[in-house]
Structure 1
Amino acid sequence: MSIGVRELRDGLSRHLAHVRAGHTVTVTDHGVPVARIVPVDVPSALERLIADGRVTPAKQPKRPSGRRLKTAGTVSDLVAEQRR
């Protein structure tokens, strides 16, 4: 089921009842899909892949990225300099 933002706002209780019944609601903004409301008990794609044994979750949380470099030029300038 696909609905616009205004329709969702005007009939929120009705649409949430639809989700409680196990259906998925796609919310659109000017016809462009922007969100999906799914029942809580439906596993996500990642959860299904983990349950099937096709994906192994990370053992450690993502490490923070390295320190930021201060440069005077743009990224394009830095790439061009590295290619010389």
Structure 2
Amino acid sequence: MDVATIGIRDLRNGLSRHLADVREGTEITVTDHGTPIARIIPIGRESGLEKLIRAGLVTMPTGPRHPLPEPIKTSGTVSDLIADQRR
């Protein structure tokens, strides 16, 4: 498996060439100012999550997400609340 890292500008300027590389099996990591932001992989290749699911280490959720609880209203900072809990 070939892996390439390219910046956004290089991807934009050579999109057809880079997509041809992906079609041939290359995995491309796209960076923005040196920080990885996206990965382009060939269709049909398993993602990390798909590998974990196949191995039985992860299961996908079967129902809807539960609603978040109502926020707690308080005066003071989180640090104050933690300090109070420690006393």
Which portions of structure 1, spanning 4 or more consecutive aligned residues, are displaced by more than 3 angstroms? none
CA distance in structure 2 between the aligned counterparts of 1:29 and 1:15, rounded to whole angstroms: 16
Q: Cα RMSD over matched residues?
A: 1.7
CA distance in 2, matches of 1:61, 1:49: 21
Q: What residue number does 1:35 align with?
A: 38
| Unpaired stretches in structure 1, ≥5 consecutive residues | none
* TM-score, normalisation: structure 2: 0.78
Residue matched to 1:9: 12
- Structure 2 regions of 5+ residues with no counterpart? none
* Aligned residue pairs, count: 84
1:1-84 pair list within 5 angstroms: 1-84=4-87
Query: What percentage of aligned pairs have identical amino acids?
Result: 57
TM-score norm. by structure 1 comes to 0.80
